């Protein structure tokens, strides 16, 4: 047993002490259970490595070593008593006494003495605002020795104002970028500095662009965050990387959108195209329309004909087909020509004849095709017909994991999966899924009309027979019709 006396509550403070509460009054003990000579404590906490105990409406500070010495009879220093103490940053505490504020370290040393000022924490350090001006602390020694009439910051930049002059300071590089400016403003992460009728764009501490009076800055739209911009002067557009400031290329085309970080939608009048990161035309700026799909392909339209561009492989199908070209797999595409569908490769050579009314992907090398009002399941590589004379099919499940359809062959129904093959042969008058698309459970029925007999067979998702039962007509109606 460490503490034999009974208390209402305990908590560990700073990994070095035990605080014990009785009747809303706290006591502080060592981990060995020795009571420290501190009385009338309203609360005890650890903040940034410092023990803070509230007593008589004030907050006193002590280190773990000082409290350990207190156990040996050495009294605490009563100089560090405040109205309020809060965590400021790692190893730092903000302390207040009335209108006085200061910063003290976890070693109980003032880094900013108590004074009548306002302290504001920033990502780069501390702004100390006094009646005489603002001091920037914790960033660079040369800034701490100066007082500024006004200080404000934007992303990587500080704007410092004094005696009517503006200065621009780059925070990451800890370097003054511009010392005498008339006006400074920001757009995205760019800093614009105007001085003596000249405008410069500061991309970083060392990267500056001179902007002529007749030039424009245009940020290139993106579906994610904006990464690029261009300067426009006399229809010449120079593209820059927003983060690094590097020049990518110069072009005559308008740039309407960046895709990923490697492609640019370009336009000239009403015509559209696609440029690479180096400005090369990947899709000629001759298209009437371009639409990016979720799979990373761009559908192309020119003179009412369709083509395709794949962003990953940078393969290009010229717009010569009558309908949208779609991907079947990485090597094959579904195209429409002369009134029929067929398969082609990326080299546009036909893989099948153009003779199908519809084509539906099914499994690797296997497709559903409709020809002469019937569907068939075709292996297009071997030209083998796997299943034919199908009037129609309907989806039970359509997902990346598995496709399952209910097929109708003449007047009979069956079930086929692209993973499991033929689950139920098309020999039944009716098939209903009583389960879910993910876990089907099949109800099948055959009718013997001459005897008015209905044979019902239940199958699980793998096509395994679960139950077989024969019913006469009145019995069958009761089990089949949910309204009875």
Residue pLDDT, tens place only, 35-54: 998 888 999 999 999 999 99
DSSP designation for 76: P
pLDDT tens digits, residue range 112-160? 899 999 888 888 888 999 888 999 988 998 898 889 999 999 999 999 9
For residue 254, pLDDT over 90 is answered with: yes
Q: Quote the pLDDT of residue 207.
A: 87
The region that residue 164 occupies, defined by phi over 0 for left and psi between -120 and 50 for alpha, beta otherwise, is left
| pLDDT tens, residue by residue, 300-358 | 999 999 999 999 999 999 999 999 999 999 999 999 999 999 999 999 999 999 999 99
Domains 212-287 and 291-390 share a fold: no
Q: For the chain, report the end-to-end CA distance as a whole number of angstroms.
A: 74
For the chain, give the mean pLDDT.
92
Residues 382 and 364: their CA atoms lie apart, in Å, by 12
Rounded CA-CA distance 24/22 in Å is: 5
Residues 52, 50: Cα–Cα separation, whole Å? 6
pLDDT of residue 54: 93
**Sorting pLDDT into bands at 50, 70 and 90, what band is 481?**
low
Side-chain half-sphere of 418: how many Cα atoms within 13 Å?
23
What are the domain boundaries of the chain? 1-116, 212-287, 291-390, 403-484
Residue, of 168 and 211, whose pLDDT is higher? 168
Range 212-287 has CATH code 2.40.10: yes
Cα–Cα distance measured from residue 289 to residue 297, given in angstroms and rounded to the nearest whole number: 14
- Which residue has tokens 């998702």? 461
Classified by CATH at the fold level, domain 291-390 comes out as Lipocalin (2.40.128)
pTM exceeds 0.85, yes or no:
no
Task: Kindly state the average pLDDT of the residues 428-455.
Answer: 92
From the list 348, 385, 350, 345, the residue with the least C-alpha distance to 369 is 385
82-117 pLDDT, tens digit per residue, is 999 999 888 999 999 999 999 999 999 998 899 999
């Amino acid at each position: 047993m460490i503490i034999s006396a009974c208390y209402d509550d305990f908590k560990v403070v700073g990994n070095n002490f035990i605080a014990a509460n009785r009747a809303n009054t706290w006591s502080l003990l060592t981990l060995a259970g020795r009571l420290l000579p501190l009385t009338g404590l309203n609360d005890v906490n650890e903040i940034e490595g410092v023990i803070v105990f509230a007593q008589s409406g004030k907050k006193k500070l002590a280190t773990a070593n000082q409290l350990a010495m207190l156990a040996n009879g050495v009294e605490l220093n009563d100089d560090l008593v405040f109205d309020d103490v809060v965590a400021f940053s790692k190893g730092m505490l903000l302390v207040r006494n009335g209108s006085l504020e200061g910063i003290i370290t976890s070693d109980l040393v003032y880094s900013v003495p108590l004074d009548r000022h306002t302290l504001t924490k920033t990502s780069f350090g501390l702004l100390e605002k006094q009646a005489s001006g603002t001091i920037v602390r914790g960033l660079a020694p040369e800034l701490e020795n100066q007082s500024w009439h006004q200080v404000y910051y934007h992303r990587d930049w500080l704007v410092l104002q004094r005696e009517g002059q503006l200065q621009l300071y780059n925070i990451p590089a800890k370097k003054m970028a511009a010392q005498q400016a008339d006006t400074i403003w920001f757009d995205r992460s760019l800093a614009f500095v105007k001085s003596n009728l000249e405008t410069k764009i500061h991309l970083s501490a060392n990267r500056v662009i001179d902007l002529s009076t007749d030039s424009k800055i245009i940020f290139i739209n993106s579906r994610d965050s904006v990464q690029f911009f261009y300067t426009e002067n006399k229809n010449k557009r120079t593209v820059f990387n927003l983060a690094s400031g590097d020049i990518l290329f110069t072009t005559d085309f308008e740039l309407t959108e960046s895709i990923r970080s490697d492609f640019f939608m370009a336009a000239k009048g009403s015509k559209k195209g696609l440029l690479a990161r180096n400005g090369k035309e990947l899709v000629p700026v001759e298209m009437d329309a371009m639409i990016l799909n979720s799979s990373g392909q761009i559908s192309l339209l020119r003179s009412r004909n369709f083509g395709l561009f794949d962003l990953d492989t940078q393969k290009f199908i010229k717009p010569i087909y009558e309908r949208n070209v779609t991907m079947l797999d990485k090597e094959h595409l579904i195209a429409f020509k002369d009134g029929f569908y067929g398969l082609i490769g990326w080299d546009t050579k036909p893989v099948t004849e153009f003779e199908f009314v519809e084509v539906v992907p099914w499994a690797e090398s296997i497709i559903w095709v409709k020809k002469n009002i019937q569907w068939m399941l075709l292996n297009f590589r071997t030209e083998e017909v796997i299943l034919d004379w199908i009037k129609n099919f309907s989806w039970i499940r359509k997902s990346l994991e598995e496709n399952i359809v209910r097929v109708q062959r003449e007047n009979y129904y069956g079930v086929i999966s692209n993973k499991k093959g033929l689950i139920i042969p098309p020999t039944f008058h009716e098939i209903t899924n009583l389960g879910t698309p993910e876990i089907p459970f099949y109800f099948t029925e055959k009718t013997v009309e001459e005897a008015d007999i209905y044979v019902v067979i239940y199958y699980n998702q793998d096509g395994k027979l679960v139950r077989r039962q024969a019913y006469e007509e009145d019995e069958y109606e009761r089990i089949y019709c949910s309204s009875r």
